[in-house]
Amino acid sequence: MSSPNASPTIVGNLLHEAYKQFHEVDDGTVATYIPELGKADPGHFGICVMSVDGDCYESGDCDVEFTIQSISKPFVYAMALTDHGRDMVYSRIGVEPSGDAFNSIVLDQKTNRPFNAMVNAGAIAASSLIQGVNVEERAEAQMAVFSAAAGRRLRLDQSVYRSETETGNRNRAIAWLMMNFGMIEGNVDEILSLYFQQCSILVTARDLAVMGATLANMGTNPLTGENVFEIGCIQDVLSVMFTCGMYDYSGEWAFRVGIPAKSGVAGGILGVVNRQLGIGAYSPKLDSRGNSVRGVKALTYLSEELGLHAFNFMNHGSHFLKNVLDRDGGGAVTPGV
Ligand code: GLN
What is the dihedral sign for C-alpha 264, 267, 270, 271? positive
- Residue 4's contacts (CB-CB under 8 Å, 6 or more residues apart) are 15, 16, 19, 20, 23, 59, 60
Whether 222 and 229 have beta carbons less than 8 Å apart is answered as no
- Per-residue model confidence as pLDDT tens digits over 60-72: 999 999 999 999 9
Q: Which of 71, 100, 102, 170 to mutate to test the pocket of ligand 1 (most atoms within 8 A of CB)?
A: 102
pLDDT at residue 156 above 60? yes
What pLDDT, in 10s, does the model give residues 247-297? Answer: 999 999 999 999 999 999 999 999 999 999 999 999 999 999 999 999 999
Q: Is the pLDDT of residue 329 over 70?
A: no
Atom 10 (ligand 1) nearest CA:
103
Kindly report, residue by residue over 304-319, the tens digit of the pLDDT.
999 999 999 887 765 6
- Mutation test residue for ligand 1: of 33, 73, 103, 172, the one with most atoms within 8 Å of CB: 103
Q: Is 80 exceeded by the pLDDT of residue 9?
A: yes
**pLDDT at site 4:** 39
Question: pLDDT band for position 104 (50/70/90)?
Answer: confident
Write the CB contacts of 106 (distance below 8 Å, at least 6 apart in sequence): 98, 100, 115, 121
Which of 287 and 98 is assigned the larger pLDDT? 287
322 Cα: distance to centroid of ligand 1 (angstroms)? 36
Regarding the beta carbon of 199 and ligand 1, being less than 6 Å apart is answered yes
pLDDT score, position 322: 73
- Closest ligand 1 atom to 171 CA: 4
Ligand 1: does its nearest atom lie under 6 Å from the Cβ of 264? yes
DSSP label at residue 101: -
Is 50 in contact with 213 (CB distance < 8 Å)? yes
Measured in Å, how far apart are the chain's first and last C-alpha atoms? 18
Ligand 1 atom closest to 120 (CA): 4
- Ligand 1 pocket check for 69: Cβ under 6 Å: yes
CA distance 298 to 309: 14
**What pTM does this model have?**
0.94
Known active-site residue 110: no
| Known active-site residue 195 | yes
- Whether 2 is a known active-site residue: answer no
Instruction: Read off the pLDDT of each residue in 163-178 and give the average, rounded to a whole number.
Output: 96
Confidence of residue 105 (pLDDT cuts 50, 70, 90): confident
Reply yes or no on whether 293 is catalytic. Answer: no
pLDDT confidence of residue 319: 63
Domains, in order of start, for the chain:
10-66+203-331 (3.40.710.10), 70-199 (3.40.710.10)
Whether 212 is in the pocket of ligand 1, judged by its Cβ within 6 Å, is no
If pLDDT is split at 50, 70 and 90, which confidence band does 6 have?
very low
pLDDT for res 111: 93
Q: Quick one: average pLDDT of 79-85?
A: 97
Residue 328 is predicted with a pLDDT of 77
Q: Say what the pLDDT of residue 314 is.
A: 82
The 10s digit of each residue's pLDDT in 24-62 is 999 999 999 999 999 999 999 999 999 999 999 999 999
Mean pLDDT (whole number) for 108-112: 92
Out of 66, 68, 70, mutate this one to test ligand 1's pocket (max ligand atoms within 8 Å of CB): namely 70
**Residue 301 known to be catalytic:** no
Taking the centre of ligand 1 as the mean of its atom positions, its distance from the CA of residue 316, in whole angstroms, is: 36
Where does residue 336 rank: exposed (0-12), middle (13-18), buried (19+ CB within 10 A)? Answer: exposed
